[in-house]
Amino acid sequence: MSKIKVSAFAVSIDGFSAGPNQSLENPLGVRGTELMTWFFKTKAFQKMHGGGGGVEDIDNSFAERSFENIGAWIMGRNMFGPIRGPWLNHEWRGWWGESPPYHTSVFVLTHHKREPLVMEGGTTFYFVTEGLEVALKKAKEAAQGRDVRIGGGTQVVRDYLKAGLIDELHLVYSPVFLGSGESLLSDLNLPQLGYSVTEKVHTQEALHVVLGRTAQCTGGQNGK
């Protein structure tokens, strides 16, 4: 059965999933890349970017799992790029070069229309202006029975959690204090939303926590 998943989503000890002031120089906000130290060393990361080598350890196993059986992605406008407001032109084509590491359909939530962007390697970005539920419907159709991964950013994950639409949540707590940035779980009551811990593994670089959602809990925090 297909799932709606958040996977390999990094969080600081003080609860931030991105640093402040995202920009072209700081795609994850100031100091945000410190959250991903556990990932950068892995064989999975090196393979994503066309390199060889990398560490094959527990962190790598979780990284590899995060890409298994993914038929479509959903991300927010901020994850696609640092540009805000209407698309003034189509020069911005994402952070990842001409061959992004998704290799599937990716649905970008935005308030501003843009034509689909076909990239190398099987990735096509579709820009969805009708909201998160329409994006999810389109992603499920594109996934054809495989899983849909909610990639981020932080607010997008929060919105899908509030709506009760995420089946599995894999958080990676990195031993970093950011002090400020985008808080992932502030004001969210995960037990009330039906989540409980199904797996936890500690490594030298991170604490992996997987949360599942009980089948009988079908509504979001606001009863959706």
Per-residue confidence in pLDDT tens, the chain, 224 aa: 799 999 999 999 999 999 999 998 999 999 999 999 999 999 999 988 777 899 999 999 999 999 999 999 999 999 999 888 999 888 999 999 999 999 999 999 999 999 999 999 999 999 999 999 999 999 999 999 999 999 999 999 999 999 999 999 999 999 999 999 999 999 999 999 999 999 999 999 999 999 998 755 545 554 44
Q: Which residues contact 130 (CB under 8 A, 6 or more apart)?
A: none
The overall pTM is greater than 0.85: yes
Dihedral sign for Cα 220, 36, 172, 52, please. positive
Long-range contacts of 127-134 (CB under 8 A, 24+ apart): 132/74, 132/156, 132/159, 132/160, 132/163, 132/165, 133/163, 133/165
Supply the pLDDT for residue 220: 59
Task: Please name each of the domains of the chain with its CATH number.
Answer: 4-83+99-213 (3.40.430.10)
Label residues 72-94 b or e (16+ Cβ within 10 Å = b): bbbbbbbbbbeeeeebeeeeeeb
Supply the pLDDT for residue 113: 95
Q: How far apart are CA 129 and CA 115, in angstroms?
A: 11
Supply the pLDDT for residue 224: 42
